[in-house]
Amino acid sequence: MKHFLRVVTQFFVFLYCKCLWRGLKFVVRRLTGRCELQRICYNNKPGARRTLKIESSMRYSKYELLQSALSIHPDKVEKTINDIMALKKINPDTNPQLGISLQASLLQIVGYRSLMAAVEKLRREPYDCENTEHENMLMKLWKELRPDTPLTGRISKQWCEIGFQGNDPKTDFRGMGLLGLQNLLYFAEHDKPTALQMLQDSLQPKHNELNNPDWEQKNPDKAIGYSFAIVGINITDLAYSLLVSGALKTHLYNVAPEMPSLQHFQQTFCYLMQEFHRFWIEEDPSDIMEFNRVRSKFHRRILRQLKNPDMALCPHFAASDLHLVNM
């Protein structure tokens, strides 16, 4: 009974707040002569600040049109914005900028959804040895990372040199499928200096242990650092979960003026690789067994950063690579 009463009270408090909120919106609308969407556009600069607010305003709108607009096809954005302007009785001639701003924001919102679908599709596509396209990508990854050493065979121990687990990388892609391979290749192609540096660092024994004279006798084959490719696949998982949880909205709404694309996601991956590498060195873990601890600490840090609506996770590309990125 007590519990029941509490639920009823909560329900009425909720109703009361809702009425109060609606009433407040009504009053502000009368006073300023602008609807909520207009106010958001006028008071917030373009990017995540504006788009995140528009997204939540539309989600909690009482109009079916605004709620469903969040999941429309990108081609229908223009028409939907016109419908919304008509519904809200906003004159496009007196507010020429509003339609454009709303359209950009809505494109970002629906673009995020379609990016999620595209990434999910790639992730679900398993690596297939029979597929020449997949095989070519894998071979290309080798050539990018080991330009001076030819691969002795498709199945080879050499794969361990770039941080795969065994002599056939196929099994390492697992739950990340083609997404893992594409990310690694993008990183190696577009941010080669960092990728090669990371790879080299990952193969080196840890610096402070090197200074230790008897290190070599104690741990002859204990190459410290992590396995480059495997870490790439794990960071792909991190980027994927950031995307799916919606945490990447802040970043993507800030960097993509309209629809975020797969390229934006891949660049985010490059950023995460660069930052993770730096974080790993900072944390100075004693060995690879600490990987998951460091990884989840890094994950929490990125999540915290993304709470700031001005945050963007832009990779620092070397000037020589910039033309490749802009291509």
Partner 1 sequence: MQHDLKRPHGASDVTFSGVSRRKGNKMGLLSILRKLKSTPDQEVRILLLGLDNGGKTTLLKQLASEDISHITPTQGFNIKSVQSQGFKLNVWDIGGQRKIRPYWRNYFENTDVLIYVIDSADRKRFEETGQELAELLDEEKLSGVPVLIFANKQDLLTAAPASEIAEGLNLHTIRDRMWQIQSCSALTGEGIQEGMNWVCKSVNSKKK
Where along the sequence are the contacts to partner 1 (CB under 8 A)?
A: 123, 160, 165-166, 171-172, 174-176, 180, 221-223, 226-227, 230-231, 233-234, 236-237, 240, 287-293, 295
Nearer to partner 1, 233 or 259 (CB): 233
Q: Which long-range contacts (CB under 8 A, 24 or more apart) does 42-46 make?
A: 46/101, 46/104, 46/105, 46/257
Sign of CA dihedral 195, 196, 197, 203: positive
Residue 61 CB, nearest approach to partner 1 (Å):
32
Going by C-beta distance under 8 Å and a sequence separation of 6 or more, which residues neighbour residue 38?
Answer: 90, 95, 98
What span, in angstroms and rounded, lies between the C-alpha atoms of 172 and 127? 9
Are 53 and 38 contacting, i.e. CB atoms less than 8 angstroms apart? no
Token pair for 254:
């800030």
Nearest approach, Cβ of residue 240 and partner 1 (Å)? 7
Nearer to partner 1, 148 or 221 (CB): 221
Whether residue 150 contacts residue 107, with contact meaning beta carbons closer than 8 Å, is answered with no
Closest distance of CB 13 from partner 1, Å: 36
Structure tokens at 107: 């494109």
Residue closer to partner 1 by CB (options 190, 295) is 295
| Closest approach of partner 1 to the CB of residue 295, in Å | 8
Q: How far is the CB of 274 from partner 1 (least distance, A)?
A: 18
Residue with Cβ nearer partner 1 (112 or 159)? 159
- Of 45 and 218, which has the nearer Cβ to partner 1? 218
Residue closest to 292 by CA, chosen among 234, 225, 210: 234
**Which 3 state secondary structure label does DSSP give 178?**
helix
Nearest to partner 1 of 83, 125 (CB atom): 125
Query: For residues 186 and 321, is the Cβ–Cβ distance under 8 A?
Result: no
* Distance in Å, CB of 179 to partner 1, minimum: 10
| Residue 75 vs 282, nearer CB to partner 1 | 282
Cα(192)–Cα(323) distance, integer angstroms: 13
First-last CA distance in the chain: 66
Contact 92, 34 (CB under 8 A): no
CB of residue 166 to partner 1, shortest distance in Å: 6
CB of 177 to partner 1, least distance (A): 9
* SS3 of residue 9 by DSSP: helix
Query: By C-beta, is 47 or 177 nearer to partner 1?
Result: 177
CA gap 41, 69 in Å, rounded: 17
The answer to whether 226 and 202 are in contact (CB under 8 A) is yes
